[in-house]
Structure 1
């Protein structure tokens, strides 16, 4: 089976092959540049430079930037759709519905790792492109979603999947974890995990669940143990300035989320905050200083809420329940600050290295808390010993963080707290009937 997007070949050169190769090179370069700069921050000259071609040559293949981005989004979704459907359709007719679902997940993961720039670019620019382009992309995504919905329902209807889980939420959380994997999975590193090994870890986490029988007996619903977000104490003289800073950061989160880092101007943020552009410099030295505060606030908000939730648990709380509390607090935190989380996900790979370095220690400290709790739960026999905890950590964080891109509390049949408990059930107990 060919990898996603690989063209069939013959022994002789066909007319137009050079042009097709150039077009493919331009699309690959465009996906990478859109991923790095966002839509509004990308110029055709940037793409031409990345594709090692002249800017004028792009117009031979694409009439405009809109034409080019439309094709990047179409290729991203169609490559994934076609690859996954071909893989599943090639299975013998006798293949069980559960194994068809497993094959679809394996194929999806292979696809997004193969075209990681396209996957990440779609996330970062879909909200920025013209409505007509976004609508056509969403139609392809709906087709893909319906395909997975059918696979899920078939497995549930024949008794292979548990009936007490929300199919839509489970599907989106698993696909979200897979879509996040290109940002952290690097199979080319020596002694690193292979793609096949990563597929096995995903299957173990989401199909079988990470908890042992002992762990599942001890686990309880811990969502009600999550601490409320803590207000920041302020002296009376600081209240007005602090409120202005919050207003600026809230506006910046919305603008960075919609325009990307390169496409967000201070004037746009000032307009969103209903203030003069010059007033921003009273509180922030530069755009880099502003985005650095934004990213740190996003991390501090989640880190604080998670730590207070764990510290508020009784001393004898089972390790698996501490871990469940962390997962629940993380989800409720990012959903309560969705614009901040989404902005961070979309621009973290685009900001200057010196800005990204300012939150590196925060990320490492926070993830170390997760590692400690995972290790404690494994040592206590609450979660399985055959799992790579480093992979589990990244998979779970990817699934949780991606919820801000698909979960709509106003239209969902699950509240944020119910979604958090659904995630814990999925992760600890798995979807498959054992």
Structure 2
């Protein structure tokens, strides 16, 4: 990679981080490009050189947040053969990312912001991930007999996303407690009785820590997105 290309990548990442910090503090309608460019210590003209408008920038923040989730989900999924525990672990990984990574947090909030009309990306990825793991659990006889997959998938995504929207930076301990409490109440109606005692609603600690730490810093290449999406959604 040439020096000029490397500088362009670093500049773009700085702009995305600055935008995420503003979108994390303000709603989409209130956020101003002048505030974002000032936070990045750049001119508004320089910002427009990389992004056509505010929606274009918001879409890039959401896309980057989605990519971070893909990487984290892939890492957790590959290291856990039990689909329900993998689902729990990925949710805890998501909660920790939302706590300490402003791009992930801003991406989720932009995806839920009704003042913008961009397509939901982050939430669709989380929904596909949950659906894939629940399908896998049903095929392996891991689910309780009365479970309706579509309803349960929607409930899990709605509840965890709702908690996620309320997360603030540095709330790692509180969010882990919130997600643990959710799974403590939810797993008894979800898992087959003989499996329940082997599931940890608090997540597999070392696996969650590894996925959180590694996912944010893995080098991004276009093929990675395809591989990660296939891992969590089953698309090849």
TM-score normalised over the length of structure 1: 0.38
| 1:395–1:335 CA distance, 2 compared to 1 (3 A) | farther
Question: Residues 202-217 of structure 1: matches in 2 within 5 Å?
Answer: none
| 1:302–1:247 CA distance, 2 compared to 1 (3 A) | same
Q: CA RMSD in A?
A: 3.1
User: Is residue 136 of structure 2 the alignment partner of residue 369 of structure 1?
Assistant: no
Aligned equivalents of 2:8 and 2:35: distance in 1?
Answer: 20
Contact 2:73 2:90 in 1 (8 A): yes
Which of 70, 81, 87 is residue 323 of structure 1 equivalent to? 87
Shift of 1:307: 1.6
Question: Residues 110-121 of structure 1: matches in 2 within 5 Å?
Answer: none
Q: Which has the higher contact order (CA 8 A, sep 6+)?
A: 2
Aligned equivalent of 1:301: 68
Contact 1:409 1:416 in 2 (8 A): no
Question: Residues 380-395 of structure 1: matches in 2 within 5 Å?
Answer: 380-395=140-155
Aligned equivalent of 1:242: 9
| 1:312–1:268 CA distance, 2 compared to 1 (3 A) | same
Aligned equivalent of 1:279: 46
Question: Residues 340-355 of structure 1: matches in 2 within 5 Å?
Answer: 340-342=104-106, 344-346=108-110, 348-352=113-117, 355=118
| 1:335–1:395 CA distance, 2 compared to 1 (3 A) | farther
Which of 402, 413, 424 is residue 183 of structure 2 equivalent to? 424
Contact 2:21 2:102 in 1 (8 A): no
Aligned equivalents of 2:126 and 2:168: distance in 1?
Answer: 26
Structure 2: tracts of 5 or more residues without a match: 190-236
Larger Rg: 1
Which structure 1 residue ranges, 4+ long, deviate > 6 Å from structure 2?
A: none
Shift of 1:380: 2.9
SS at 1:402 equivalent: helix
TM-score normalised over the length of structure 2: 0.64
Aligned equivalents of 1:408 and 1:259: distance in 2?
Answer: 13
Shift of 1:248: 1.5
Number of residues of Structure 1 aligned to a counterpart in Structure 2: 188
Aligned equivalent of 1:332: 96
